[in-house]
Amino acid sequence: MEIVLITGMSGSGKSIALRALEDAGYYCVDNLPPELLVSFVALEHTHDGNRLAIAMDVRSATSLPLVPAKLEELRSHGCTVRSIFLDATTGTLVRRFSETRRQHPLFHGEHSEGRLALVQVIELERELLAELRDQAHVIDTSNIRASQLQGYIKELIGTDKGQLSLVFQSFAFKRGIPVDADFVFDVRMLPNPHYEADLRDLTGLDAPVIGFLDQQPEAALMHSHIKDFLTHWLPVLAGNHRSYVTVAIGCTGGQHRSVYLVEQLAGSFSHQWPTLRRHRELDGR
């Protein structure tokens, strides 16, 4: 049986992720109490269900500490379990709650006395979910659209379940560092195609920009250094039972240099590891 556990911050997009999994053929359940996880999976197995997506969040705060042990129990029974944690910056979450006028779920529980501001409640939620986040693949939804998130989810479930998967992501520093990154590399010191008039409106996916950066010794050296670093440490991470590693490459606008290097690095590692490519700023256009 294949199980995808969706957890994350309130307002980070869990319902969107569940819809993507439902479209992909998973039987989806929202807000399943952790105490029922193993028995629910066993029940679905008797009904010939073999693809489940289950969402859990801070609404089950008191029993969330049970989840890691429950997941290990499922794995010991032969289930393939993937954990995906959706995150976003505190400012983004505050804005989303303000726009939707929805109340944070912790306001309904023991922290509903009104003494805590929304920002404080969000930070409390981070503390309650910290262990689940540490054991999951994290997706930062702060600067991506719903359609991007759906695409990312479908890409993830399509990767090889038996080994570590690499996610290379380009981004713009001016829009913030992705909170889901395991490693962040700054490539803003490389020659910038933005200052070449005929390249300014193109991207790192276009042949003229690729040709320009191919001719820059600094770009080749940067690629070599990052490749050497990852080549050394990825086997160590894989041996530590990591399922995903996200490598974020940032430049000023997330259009030229970071996109180019994501493509180059993905090409270098795709023969050894399942590899995904994301371009946060380009994908959102």
Distance CA 106, CA 111 (A): 6
pLDDT reported for residue 28: 93
Distance CA 40, CA 154 (A): 24
* Tokens representing residue 18 in the block: 């569940």
For domain 2-157, the question of CATH label 3.30.70.980 is answered with: no
Distance CA 175, CA 182 (A): 18
pLDDT reported for residue 113: 47
SS (H, E, C) the chain: CEEEEEEECCCCCHHHHHHHHHHCCCEEEECCCHHHHHHHHHHHHHCCCCEEEEECCHHHHHHHHHHHHHHHHHHHCCCEEEEEEEECCHHHHHHHHHHHCCCCHHHHCCCCCCCCCHHHHHHHHHHHHHHHHHCCEEEECCCCCHHHHHHHHHHHHCCCCCCCEEEEEEEEHHHCCCCCCCEEEECCCCCCHHHCCCCCCCCCCCHHHHHHHHCCHHHHHHHHHHHHHHHHHHHHHHHCCCCEEEEEEEECCCCCHHHHHHHHHHHHHCCCCCEEEEEHHHHCC
- Ramachandran category for residue 230: left, alpha or beta (phi over 0 → left; psi -120 to 50 → alpha): alpha
CB-hemisphere CA count at 13 Å for 277?
16
pLDDT reported for residue 232: 95
Cα dihedral 227, 233, 236, 237 sign: negative
pLDDT reported for residue 246: 95
The domain spans of the chain are 2-157, 165-283
| pTM score, whole prediction | 0.79
Question: Mean pLDDT, 10 residues at a time, over the chain (285 residues)?
Answer: 93 94 92 91 79 90 87 90 94 90 75 65 92 91 92 84 86 93 97 96 97 97 98 90 90 97 97 93 84
Instruction: Express each pLDDT in 222-271 by its tens digit.
Output: 999 999 999 999 999 888 777 889 999 999 999 999 999 999 999 999 99
pLDDT reported for residue 64: 85
